[in-house]
Each structure stands twice: as C-alpha cells, then as structure tokens.
Amino acid sequence: MNTKIRMSVLLAASLLAACAGTVPASRSAAGPDEDRDVAEAGLAADVRLALLDKLGWDALDVKVDVDGGQASLTGEVDKRTTQELAEEVALSVQGVERVDNRLRLKPQSAPETRVDHAVSNTEREVNDAALEMRVGKNLLAEIGRYALGLEVEVTDGVASVRGTVPDRERKSLALKAAERTSGVKKVIDLIEVRGR
C-alpha cells in the first residue's frame, strides 16, 4: 500500500474514531439531541475529508465544527489557495448550507511591509478575478446555458468549479474547458451530476 493511501486510511480511521464517542450506545435510547450530535459529527467528518481530498495536506490543521447547516472552519494554513477555496469545498458537501471561514495564513518567515502586502494581495485578487471571468467564458462556450449553474472561484491560478450539470458528458466538457484556460494551474472538481 503506498504512503498516500496508507495516510488516507489512517486519517479516515482517526476521524471515524473521533466521531465514535458521540454515537449513542442504543439507537432506541437516543434522543433528538444525540441524533443531531451524531449527524453534525458525521457532516463535519465529511467536510474534513472533502477538504483533504480537494486541497491536500495543507488542510490537515483545519478544524471543522458544524451547527445545523453551518460549517465553521478555523485554524492556520500555509497556502492562500487553501484559505480561500476551503469555503467552496465545504459548500460542495451535501448538508452544508453556509460556511463561516475563519482560516488564517501561517505567518511568513520574512516580514513584508503593510504596503507590500496590500499591493501584492491586490494584484493577486485582480489576476484571480480576470482568470475567473476567462474560465466562465470558456465554460459558456463549451457547455452553453448549463454553465449558468456553475460557480467558478480562482485563487493563485487554482480554479474550483462548483454547481450542477445534467450529465457526465457536460461535467467532463466543463472540467476540460476550465483546465484548458490559459493561466489555470489546477482545477478542483466540485461539480455534481443531477439528471432530470
């Protein structure tokens, strides 16, 4: 078993073990509060797994709390892409209606001045917004009106595409159109297929 698979299995086992403490001993003895706690723990585990699956090891330190349909994300991450795209990934998990994203970037080793930081952030935001528009335009050209059901978020060249399409063929076309967009380094697939 390769290292990535082994780590994934260990991580999944630890998440399940963490959730096991909230499972009532007997389903018949469980009250509505216990059922809700179990459901929320399960949803939090689903969000954590989605974050790790889509964003990689940088999401390991992300803490997820669920209350009703709201997922709260806290912790520190190394990459701005993880910080900004975590919300999109969490929203793609069935049962999550809202996200409170309080992720922070870990401090950099070389301090920047406030002006340098503001200028570099503004430039990145403008580049990301332009790339989002290019991806959206390519999606419209490739799958037409079905692109209207998709949302594109870009951070540092990493594009997440979230929403629904009616069939696998359009999903495949949409992902290829996003990948072929000049400036896109990676595409995070958050598209669901929902036939009519």
Task: Please determine, for residue 16, whether its predicted confidence score (pLDDT) is greater than 50.
Answer: no
Residue 99 has pLDDT above 50, yes or no: yes
Q: Are 167 and 102 in contact (CB under 8 A)?
A: no
Lowest mean pLDDT among 82-86, 97-101, 118-122, 151-155: 118-122
**What's residue 119's pLDDT?**
59
pLDDT by residue (tens digit) across 115-164? 665 656 777 887 888 899 899 999 999 999 999 999 999 998 999 999 99
Q: How many CB atoms lie within 10 A of CB 91?
A: 20
Cα separation values, 122 from 13, 66, 113, 129, Å:
41, 32, 14, 11
How many CB atoms lie under 10 A from the CB of residue 43? 20
Task: Tell me the pLDDT of the chain averaged across its residues.
Answer: 83
Q: Which two tokens stand for residue 12?
A: 């999944």
Q: Where are the beta strands (DSSP E) in 131-174?
A: 150-155, 158-165
Residues 134, 121: Cα–Cα separation, whole Å: 20
Residue pLDDT, tens place only, 159-191: 999 999 999 999 999 999 999 999 999 999 999
Indicate if the pLDDT at residue 9 is higher than 80.
no
User: Do residues 138 and 180 touch, judged by C-beta distance below 8 A?
Assistant: yes
> What average pLDDT score do residues 44-55 get?
90
In terms of pLDDT, which residue wins out, 48 or 31? 48
> How deeply is 33 buried, as exposed, middle or buried, from its count of CB atoms within 10 A (0-12, 13-18, 19+)?
exposed
What is the C-alpha separation between 161 and 11, in angstroms, rounded?
Answer: 26
Residues pairing with 150 in the sheet: 163
CB 74 within 8 Å of CB 47 = no
Residue 110 has pLDDT above 80, yes or no: no
Which tokens hold the place of 112?
């920047």
Interval 74-86 mean pLDDT: 93
pLDDT score at 28: 46
SS3 190: strand
The answer on pLDDT for 112 being more than 50 is yes
